[in-house]
Chain A
Amino acid sequence: MTTISRIFSSAMIALGLYVILTARTFPEGTGGVLGPGFFPILLGILLIGLSALQLFNTRKEKAVATAFLTESTKRVLFACLIIIGYMAGIAILGFLISTPLFLFGIMWFFSVRKWSTLLISSIATTAVLYFVFLKFLSVSLPAGILF
């Protein structure tokens, strides 16, 4: 937790700097009216100050020397890659084709090995969602660029 919080606090300092530098290029307010840059600069300064304080407060805490990539975080990372693949799949192949593939793939990754479970749950879920959203609620689903 400490390591992640340190990295995140450092990232927040960088964000604060970016916000301030960008906001300085915004037009100035006229006649006592605050311009669009006033709040961003104020927030940037506060963010840098607090993130620095957070780093200072945890300076004595020893980050527990665990491997940064544990078995479970690796699993999360890989799942994220599968989701990115799914999103790309939706954009190209559309919802109806990529969803059962995604469900099948990620359930396999989550160690579901029973073929009947894999097939039924991935196809049935897609079918139910398709009918509920498209037919019953008439919400459009991404069709992809191929179709």
Chain B
Amino acid sequence: MFVEVLLNVLSLDVLLALVGGVAAGIAIGAMPGLTSTMGIALLMPLTFKFEPHVGMMLLIGEFVGGIYGGSITAILINTPGTSSAAATVLDGYPMTQRGEAGRALGISTIASATGGMISGLMLVFIAPTLASMALKFSAPETFALAFFGISIISSISGKSLVKGLISGLLGLILALVGMDNISGFTRFTFGSIFLMNGLSFIPVLVGLFAMSQCLLSIEDLFTNNSVDTTNIKRAKISMKDFLKILPTMIRSGITGTFIGIIPGAGGDISAFVSYDLEKRFSKHPEKFGTGIPEGIAAPEASNNGTTGGALIPLLTLGIPGDSNTAVMLGALMMHNLTPGPQLFIEHALTVNTLFAGFFIANLVMLILGLSNVKNFVKIVNIPKNLLVPVVMVLCVIGSFAINSNFNDVIVMFLAGILGYILAKGGFPLSPIVLALILGPMAEGNFRRSLVMSRGSYSIFFTRPIAATFIIIALVSLFFPIIKSMFAKRKEAA
């Protein structure tokens, strides 16, 4: 097995896919307005004709590079390229203002790679164990798990809990379209044959995450985000800095991985959590925010830590850890690699190749980051009024290419408009995706469980694993609601 994995991962096409994916990821991540999720959604149709493991490498490379790329613009122009780099701004930009841009970029590169590697190690150790546990799951457990995943919506809804829940419910309702798995009855298809199999997942994602972003970018088409490249020579890291941030990187990498495992919580949350933790346990918390190495290393190690973490529930349970892995779930399905415990048995070689590729992706990111920052910055300077039209064309081709069906293009466009309206109204987008994936899983297994128990609801509470997950789900669903009610009462008093 080991030799086969090695041969797989060191083959030319895999290496090319990794380098291409990471490079595309860094460029897309670095551009404010383009997110790594959007990059994965756009690259996915490209992987259609590749062998599954090659295609997935491209996407994993994009994921890893995209989360790191956001730090480049965060450090250089005080604008995070992706939301997960929002915390990097706090210490990254002050360091640039002192004229130490190269140092800041070096720290963020090494911290991102270290965080990624740590999460990769945890992925290799945790995923197979979790998968073998999940092998024993039957309908009630799977329902409980999906319900738990959905319940996370209430904690990732950001500022407005109600808005997040509305987004989630909209996702659950959109997931109803098509033939009902249990009874074969068609729901909400308006008599269309195209809708019988439900809304095609990938066009919806391309629309929600890429097309809607294009529409939002049109609004501030003429804001200037260009970076002055004359003073940036290269990213560099000194031994002294490296030893100083080593404990921070390890702690934040581990924290990031665990936050990544939680469905729905991604790099943006983990970066702030790690920054906060480092500040709290630091001997000199007052220096955070003035441009110190730990202030860059903590969020960067942590947000790249979520990459490996988010892959754990994706591969073992089929539950995405964040919006990036939600899109990847679509890609896995497209390549007939249905995630879940069976994947580790039927496609063991592919899974192990993905693990090995994940490490190489981080290595590639380290090399590209340290050697080529200047070129990535040049890509950021491509004017938006040339870039946005090209991305729009990619959205159209991408959604058409999957099934060669023009209806998918229309679905993509409508999803794009929906995403735009939601974003304008302050409704978060990730709950929709989470609900779209987990909704059918929850409904199907809920009803299948009741068939198993001949209509008795006790089946969900007499099986220990199912009961535990349901209780955790109820707590995570209602805790934020209760918390906000208490906060309001306090405010009123």
Contacts and interface: CB of A to CB of B under 8 A. Distances in A.
A interacts with B: yes
Nearest to A3: B425
A131 interface: no
B433 to A, nearest CB: 17
The dominant DSSP class at the B interface is helix
Nearest to B221: A110
Interface size of A as a range: 35 or more
B451 A33 contact: yes
A103 B390 contact: yes
Contact of A5 (B183, B218, B425, B447): B425
Nearest to B401: A139
B76 to A, nearest CB: 25
B198 to A, nearest CB: 13
Interface in B390-422: 390, 392-394, 396-397, 400-401, 404, 406, 409-410, 413, 417, 420-422
Contacts of B183: 27, 29, 35-36
Contacts, number: 160
A91 interface: yes
A80 B447 contact: no
A66 interface: no
A18 B424 CA distance: 24
B185 interface: yes
B185 A91 contact: no
B273 to A, nearest CB: 27
A54 B163 CA distance: 7
Interface stretch (B24-32, B164-172, B313-321): B164-172
A120 B238 CA distance: 44
A12 B400 contact: no
A140 B394 CA distance: 14
Contacts of A112: 385-386
Interface in B449-479: 450-451, 454-456
A54 B404 CA distance: 40
Nearest to B388: A110
A110 B219 CA distance: 11
A14 to B, nearest CB: 12
A34 B163 contact: no
Nearest to B162: A54
B339 interface: no
A140 B406 CA distance: 11
B389 A103 contact: yes
Given A12-B166, A47-B173, A137-B49, A33 B455 contact: yes
Interface in B416-438: 417, 420-422, 424-427
Given A50-B165, A72-B218, A139-B397, 20 more contacts: A12-B169, A15-B170, A22-B188, A29-B183, A31-B454, A35-B183, A39-B443, A72-B220, A75-B218, A75-B219, A87-B413, A90-B396, A90-B409, A91-B406, A99-B393, A110-B218, A110-B384, A137-B49, A141-B397, A141-B401
A-B residue pairs, 3 tightest by C-beta: A32-B455, A110-B385, A4-B425
